[in-house]
Structure 1
Amino acid sequence: MKHTLAKSLFILLSFFTGNGQSIEDYKLWLRYHPIEKPELVDLYLNLTEHVYFSSDSKLLKNAKSEFSNALPQLIGNNAKFDTSFSRNTKLLVTVYEQLPEEIKSKLKTKIGLIKEEGFIIQTVDYNNSSLTILTAKQEVGILYGTFRFLSFMQMHKKIVDFNIVDSPKIQLRMLNHWDNLDRSVERGYAGFSLWNWQKLPEHIDQRYIDYARANASIGINATVLTNVNANALVLTPRYLQKVAALANIFREYGIKVYLTARFSAPMEIGNLNTADPKDENVEKWWAQKAMEIYDLIPNFGGFLVKANSEGQPGPQNYGRNHVDGANMMATVLKPFGGHVIWRAFVYSEHNNIDRAKQAYDEFLPYDGKFDDNVVVQVKNGPIDFQPREPFHPLFGAMKNTSLAMEFQITQEYLGFSSHLVYLPKLFEEVLDTDTFVEGKGSTIAKVIDGSLYQNKISVMAGVSNIGNDLNWTGHPFGQANWYGFGRLAWNPYLTSEQIADEWLRLTFNNESEFIAPIKEMMLTSREAVVNYMNPLGLHHIFDSGHHYGPGPWVDNLGRADWNPVYYHRADNDGIGYNRTSLGSKATSQYAPILKKLYDSPKTIPEEYLLWFHHLPWDYTLQDGTTLWDGIALRYQKGVNQVYQMLRTWQSVQPYITKAQYEDVNMLLQIQLKEAKWWRDACLLYFQSHSNLPLPKEVEKPENTLEYYKSLKFPFAPGIRPNWN
């Protein structure tokens, strides 16, 4: 009886956690489901019958281990690793310089097409037989190529002759963890931080290794371990030993570690009486700190800095500017090859101009003045990771400065981990946007990858949605946002549809009856959340501090631009923020063709209408409805879209496990409830200004405006420590 109970508990724990997550979800997109089609099994068995790896470096050992892990699961057969390259070898894996000369000559033209981290998978004729080569200039390319090779098998690709030449288009493909040293995660909705600082450096959790594997599988090569609202303690010797333990693991998967640097660290942990970047002792302190770090972590990436923003200290505290602060740090890192990534997310309580304009006004005068190992990191939009924003006008405007794109993978403003929102659709929309700064075709993707202005460093960063939940991201479909970010950081010209197709096949199955409807659900999910939260260019109408749920009525916070009323400006005459040439003049920060387009409500894309225009409630939209009716109908449409998501998910139940189905079904029920909450609360509040009836197509609100105003959530997850 005792044995039976223990066995039952083991099975139960292996299948579920307390919140209904399946143990399968831990494996992310590396599940390696058995292939059941005999013709594919035979093809892959033949392809991997004899595999030769030419080196036993740590990187290549990890690549080799991935084959050893995947093949038995995929095709029920262990890889046969040859001890030497022979006539029997079917798959040859080695860096290009170690290839036999005869094979080298066959790939000579293609090796010049890849960058340092790129790879080639090529089938050639050799000794009257077919031989597949997986090669690269560097060993990390072999690792990336290994994961790509195995993904083809997972997706049931019937490839007989490989002809793949691929390289990352962006150099630094980086996750930004907003993790605190107490293991809380600012804007984190998937549990606590992965990093158990208390047990490091001695205790190495298996999750650290699996985290590195997952990132390497999608080409992520950098990680910032700590919150941009930085704690100087992470730069002390005790914590640097812990960081080094993580860096040692990640290095074996091609990942560099970065840290956030608190600008006042010389005072807080260095016993100096100033952090002035022009002070000789301050620069000396940072130089010594850099030497200390690189002694422990030879491939340390550098510092990410949030300075003079939202209360964080910075060079302006000493009458200096962003260039002074960034270049001082860049000087001490340059001998080691390190970077300073300096965030442009700044706005000031002492500045009364439109918050959407402030970062542009503050940073554009510094264009070309930063050292060449400085990257200015810019959020995708000019406010703050809204469900939809126009692109940040610094993209394209700063021509002589390397700019990093900062996306938010965690869903701070998109329903937390309760809502299914496929963010690669948002990322794609931004990357494909034309800035017109150098004429038609000057897309943001070209700004970020450096091709538009030949910038020295290219970076794409994503604010992580990862925590210690069993499924890593809280919502199973949140994994698609991590995966999609990595794929777009590798190649910003991929489509969100292609990425969704890949992720579904790798994560669930290859059944077309499942793939087609769920892919469509994913691709429409972002537009649904825009509709039920912020339609027609409305923005930042979230409740205070935690940003959980609607709060368009909030007007009592200490700063004007912390209040939602600042952004929607609803009154009896109309709604929207006038940023045109007759308003705040934010349109002047864009290229002339866009300025003209945005300045007129008749020509602006309607998804940005209320971002740039304050219009009367009876203004006529393109479809002939009034603005009031159009807002209300879009809120209802968003709710209807969630209803459809639920129906779609229910229709595919036969193609997934019970655990997978029930987990997402419960979350979609939450999303539906909260979509209705958003619709009802916002429409009741805006109706108090418009004094107009709701269209007949809109469901009657379930509660009163006073009820929605009374809701409080003091313990909502992900709140910034000491938020006021």
Structure 2
Amino acid sequence: MALVRFVFLFVLISFSASAQKDYKLWLQYNKVDNAEIASEYKNSLNNIVSFGNSETIKISVKELETGVFSMLDKKTEVKTQIEGENNLIIGSKSSLDSNLLKTLEADFEKINKEGFIIKSIAVKNKKQLIITGKNDVAVLYGVFSFLRILQTNKPINNLNIADSPKTNIRILNHWDNLDRYVERGYAGISLWNWQKLPDFIDQRYIDYARANASIGINGTVLTNVNANALILTPQYLEKVEALANVFRPYGIKVYLTARFSAPIEIGNLKTADPKDPEVINWWKNKAAEIYKRIPDFGGFLVKANSEGQPGPQNYGRDHVDGANMLADAVAPFGGVIMWRAFVYSEHDANDRAKQAFAEFQPYDGKFKENVIVQVKNGAIDFQPREPFHPLFGAMPKTPLMMEFQITQEYLGFSTHLVFLPKLFQEVLESDTYQKGKGSTVAKAVDGTLYQHKLTGIAGVANIGNDLNWTGHPFAQANWYGFGRLAWNPYLDSETIADEWLRCTFSNDENFIKPVKNIMIESREAVVNYMTPLGLHHIMDTGHHYGPGPWVSNLSRPEWNPTYYHKADKNGIGFDRSKSGTNATAQYAPEVEKLFDNLETCPEKDLLWFHHVSWDYKLKNGQTLWNGLALKYQEGVNQVAAMQNVWNKTEKYIDSERFHEVQMLLEIQNKEAKWWRDACLLYFQQFSGKELPAGVEKPTQTLEYFKSLKFPFAPGNGK
């Protein structure tokens, strides 16, 4: 019995240790192992001098104490005045004395209201280090940035940093329902325990806010875009208020999704027509009610007239009518309306990729100034690879907000290691040519292309109540990377991967270099084994899990994978050139010319824009069929290589996370082969060609793959 108790205690202790590491995300604050660096840090950080006593400043001080003590095993005393040298001074501009303000005058001119300064300065000829900004939340951002410098073992002897976010709204879109089910969620149920709110404040809410603040995220949409009007009732607004109170000291505003038919469903009106005076008045009163509870409420995110959601078109109105009506309701309080451009209609199945542009571009300049149109990164739906959405740069009079998907709906769920900042960077760097060469998507998003003041980037969250928050330890990097790119859309994904690995696991170069390579190559691997050469939306139906290129029996044509790949004996691919749907005409002339010509179209987008013969010669000399098959095999080989690299990292990190990733990579390897075999067997029916040398032969039949069913796949509707 004693042995049983010992084993149980050992397991419990081991579980607690791993839980702590998994749960702490990139805020591990591991002890600095490099003696020289640790000595430099200790000598440079005698005391913390704090100016100001707001809740946010108290959080900043606590974070510094926790971080410095954990990394340096050194207690730092907190003081309210500068004594001696090598103090770390924190406080916002309004709390600093005149001498400090004069010293930092030029630096304050370099930052915006959320920007921060981290600078080595002299006070009475004694060296100090200061973290400041124009408000307390900016100071908190600076504190997290400084701690990241320590976590990544960079020198702090002569810091001179002035950094500001390049977008206003940096926000997570939670697709969480009131029953705690998360649509397209692969990391457990929703964080928000509506039953226990408002009186029970889970520690997770605080830790969630802290993690977001550490990467500069300043907003959260708590509820699903497929909205439920009940969230706007007093019973739930009381709960939302409780969350807003938790998030506020961390600089995070709460937003909600607005169900367009709410005036009918909870307001007892007979219509939701945006031109109806009673409807207009109902929304104004509802906004006033919300802002009375939550003065810094951010506003509404709206999905309207899309995938069955009600909207202004139900009443013969348009998107402008709906968005502007809601904009008027929140405008007196400084609120924003984020109106999604994700629309496609079963009545126009010519080319789903064209519909958002056709429906929104004509409305350019007609939206109110507090409306921002939220556009997905590509014209279909968060595919492993899509060309950038043609709306970016094409609405010069309308602010456009990027919508990325952090959760891996079409990329293997949370069982596949896919570093999404690589995808995000590819989109942001794409050149729209709307104002000539260099008119990148990033410039359209951050407002510099057309001098828009309202700017933003949204990410569909991958967060649930799993111990490690995201289901896969490496999926944490996608949350982290999204926040870093929302702050600065020009960051390099390799820099982000390097930061995250050092903060989350280790600073050992023998670990960093090979694992960083895994991360950087992982997105291309998933494209290769799922949708190479521009294929898209060939996932199985509903749950979008696994391959389903054969699906053709759904009620709407554009829901079927066969609609997108159009494989036949002559070839494969969707013709969006002038000879097809002419979707290429939605881009600027330079981009249109590139995509429209079969010979100049980048091969990574080839089958997105062209229906190509199986015998077409690729740039490497292979036929399309051989090249396609070899790409599928390459994806499988890449996952195997990822496994080989990871298996050599055990000595550098904790065993719990090592084994967890090891098991998940084995799943990914099996599923990459599943994708390769199922797709090639299916497409082989049309090509009539043998698999080329180097491609492994399938061990199952096409009929076997077609027979697989997944009625309870996570994140798939109920």
Q: Which moved more, 1:33-42 or 1:617-626?
A: 33-42
Q: 1:223 aligns with which of 206, 220, 223?
A: 220
Q: 1:341 aligns with which of 338, 343, 362?
A: 338
Superimposed CA distance per residue, residues 118-170 of structure 1 (whole angstroms, 9 cap, x where no aligned partner): 00011112222101111101111100000011111111112201101100001
Given that 1:82 and 1:89 are in contact with CA atoms closer than 8 Å, whether structure 2 keeps it comes out as no
Given that 1:232 and 1:261 are in contact with CA atoms closer than 8 Å, whether structure 2 keeps it comes out as yes
Given that 1:94 and 1:135 are in contact with CA atoms closer than 8 Å, whether structure 2 keeps it comes out as yes
Residue 459 (structure 2) aligns with: 462
Residue 234 (structure 2) aligns with: 237
Return the alpha-carbon distance in structure 1 between the equivalents of residues 108 and 91 of structure 2: 13
Q: Which moved more, 1:101-110 or 1:606-615?
A: 101-110
Given that 1:52 and 1:89 are in contact with CA atoms closer than 8 Å, whether structure 2 keeps it comes out as no
Given that 1:48 and 1:80 are in contact with CA atoms closer than 8 Å, whether structure 2 keeps it comes out as no
Cα deviation for residue 592 of structure 1 reads 0.5
Structure 1 residues 313 and 299, CA, compared in 2 at 3 Å: closer, same or farther?
A: same
1:16 aligns with 2:11: no
Residue 78 of structure 2 aligns to a residue in which SS?
A: coil
Residue 687 of structure 1 aligns to a residue in which SS?
A: helix
Return the alpha-carbon distance in structure 2 between the equivalents of residues 320 and 213 of structure 1: 42
Superimposed CA distance per residue, residues 251-297 of structure 1 (whole angstroms, 9 cap, x where no aligned partner): 01000000000000000011001000000000111111111111111
Given that 1:21 and 1:471 are in contact with CA atoms closer than 8 Å, whether structure 2 keeps it comes out as no
Residue 43 (structure 1) aligns with: 40
Given that 1:22 and 1:659 are in contact with CA atoms closer than 8 Å, whether structure 2 keeps it comes out as no
Q: 1:418 aligns with which of 387, 404, 415?
A: 415
Tell me the TM-score normalized by structure 1. Answer: 0.98
Return the alpha-carbon distance in structure 1 between the equivalents of residues 18 and 204 of structure 2: 17
Amino acid in structure 2 at the alignment position of 1:15: S
- Residues 178-577 of structure 1: matches in 2 within 5 Å? 178-577=175-574
Q: 1:90 aligns with which of 87, 91, 102?
A: 87
Residue 615 (structure 2) aligns with: 618
Q: Which moved more, 1:589-598 or 1:121-130?
A: 121-130
Return the alpha-carbon distance in structure 2 between the equivalents of residues 126 and 55 of structure 1: 19
Residue 167 (structure 1) aligns with: 164
Residue 304 of structure 1 aligns to a residue in which SS?
A: strand
- Residues 574-723 of structure 1: matches in 2 within 5 Å? 574-721=571-718
CA RMSD of aligned residues (A): 1.3
Given that 2:47 and 2:87 are in contact with CA atoms closer than 8 Å, whether structure 1 keeps it comes out as yes
Amino acid in structure 2 at the alignment position of 1:138: N
Cα deviation for residue 21 of structure 1 reads 6.5
Given that 1:21 and 1:663 are in contact with CA atoms closer than 8 Å, whether structure 2 keeps it comes out as no
Q: Where does the alignment leave 5 or more consecutive residues of structure 1 unmatched?
A: none
- Residues 61-210 of structure 1: matches in 2 within 5 Å? 61-88=58-85, 90-210=87-207
Residue 156 of structure 1 aligns to a residue in which SS?
A: coil
Superimposed CA distance per residue, residues 200-239 of structure 1 (whole angstroms, 9 cap, x where no aligned partner): 0000000000000000000000000000000001101000
Return the alpha-carbon distance in structure 1 between the equivalents of residues 656 and 429 of structure 2: 37
Residue 651 of structure 1 aligns to a residue in which SS?
A: coil
Residue 360 of structure 1 aligns to a residue in which SS?
A: helix
Cα deviation for residue 299 of structure 1 reads 0.4
Superimposed CA distance per residue, residues 19-76 of structure 1 (whole angstroms, 9 cap, x where no aligned partner): x974311000001101122322222223221111111101111111101221221111
Cα deviation for residue 5 of structure 1 reads 5.9
Superimposed CA distance per residue, residues 445-487 of structure 1 (whole angstroms, 9 cap, x where no aligned partner): 0000000001120100000000000000000000000000000
Return the alpha-carbon distance in structure 2 between the equivalents of residues 9 and 433 of structure 1: 54
Residue 252 of structure 1 aligns to a residue in which SS?
A: helix
Return the alpha-carbon distance in structure 1 between the equivalents of residues 348 and 463 of structure 2: 35
Superimposed CA distance per residue, residues 331-351 of structure 1 (whole angstroms, 9 cap, x where no aligned partner): 010000000000000000111
Given that 1:467 and 1:473 are in contact with CA atoms closer than 8 Å, whether structure 2 keeps it comes out as yes
Tell me the TM-score normalized by structure 2. Answer: 0.99
Cα deviation for residue 317 of structure 1 reads 0.2
Cα deviation for residue 98 of structure 1 reads 2.5
Amino acid in structure 2 at the alignment position of 1:622: K
Given that 2:176 and 2:183 are in contact with CA atoms closer than 8 Å, whether structure 1 keeps it comes out as yes
Cα deviation for residue 8 of structure 1 reads 5.2
Residue 16 of structure 1 aligns to a residue in which SS?
A: helix
Return the alpha-carbon distance in structure 2 between the equivalents of residues 356 and 554 of structure 1: 19
Amino acid in structure 2 at the alignment position of 1:12: V
Structure 1 residues 81 and 21, CA, compared in 2 at 3 Å: closer, same or farther?
A: closer
Amino acid in structure 2 at the alignment position of 1:639: V
Return the alpha-carbon distance in structure 2 between the equivalents of residues 451 and 10 of structure 1: 58
Given that 1:189 and 1:717 are in contact with CA atoms closer than 8 Å, whether structure 2 keeps it comes out as yes
